[in-house]
Structure 1
Amino acid sequence: MAKIGVEESLHNVTEALKERGHQVVELKNESDARECDCCVITGLDSNVMGIQNVVTKGSVINANGLSADEVCREVENRLQ
């Protein structure tokens, strides 16, 4: 299965992805995202200063307002 990076505070998303067989890595800093096929972020601090640094070639999913199941579906859609 895919290697998914998930921000620390998204525990419910982490558990849901693990239940679906994905390898989940906790995103603590930018280097954690480099080897991930997809990253899930809270969106709370994204682009605060108007600066965007690309650290992964994988998809980035903003989980703000989504349930854990919705995030899992979005991850799986992007990985296809």
Structure 2
Amino acid sequence: MKNIGVEKGLTNVADYLKNQGYTVQILSENIENNIAKYDNLDVIIAADYNTNMMGFADTSTKIPVISASGLTAEEVKNMIDQKTSK
């Protein structure tokens, strides 16, 4: 089961992924609230409301980050499958 972190505000994507069988965790805007979740995530879905979703412009992660901006929930799911099938 893939564990997906979804930035707050992407309710339609989170709901779609849950219906597709993914485990979804909503990520808050506050990085301190998210740190404990990162080790268990396979992918992070960013809303792209701002360019530094995690509160830091220089934040990097080993977890793939997918920008949902301009994508349908199904397109986001397809990108998750591509990123995690490797």
Give the TM bin, normalised by the shorter chain. Answer: 0.7 to 0.9
Q: Distance in 1 between matches of 2:7 and 2:21?
A: 18
Q: Structure 1 vs Structure 2: percent identity of aligned residues?
A: 33
2:58 paired residue number: 52
Identify unmatched segments of 5+ residues in structure 2: none
2:80 paired residue number: 75
Normalising to structure 2: TM-score of the pair? 0.80
Aligned length: 79
| Runs of 4+ off more than 3 Å | none
1:1-80 to 2 correspondence within 5 Å?
Answer: 1-28=1-28, 29-30=30-31, 31=35, 32-47=37-52, 51-54=57-60, 56-80=61-85
Letter in 1 for 2:82: N
RMSD, aligned CA: 2.1
Q: Report if aligned partners of 1:43, 1:64 keep a CA contact under 8 Å in 2.
A: yes
Q: Tell me how far 1:58 sits from its aligned partner.
A: 1.3
Identify unmatched segments of 5+ residues in structure 1: none
Q: Tell me how far 1:47 sits from its aligned partner.
A: 3.3
Q: Report if aligned partners of 2:47, 2:67 keep a CA contact under 8 Å in 1.
A: yes
Q: Tell me how far 1:69 sits from its aligned partner.
A: 0.7
Normalising to structure 1: TM-score of the pair? 0.85
Letter in 1 for 2:6: V
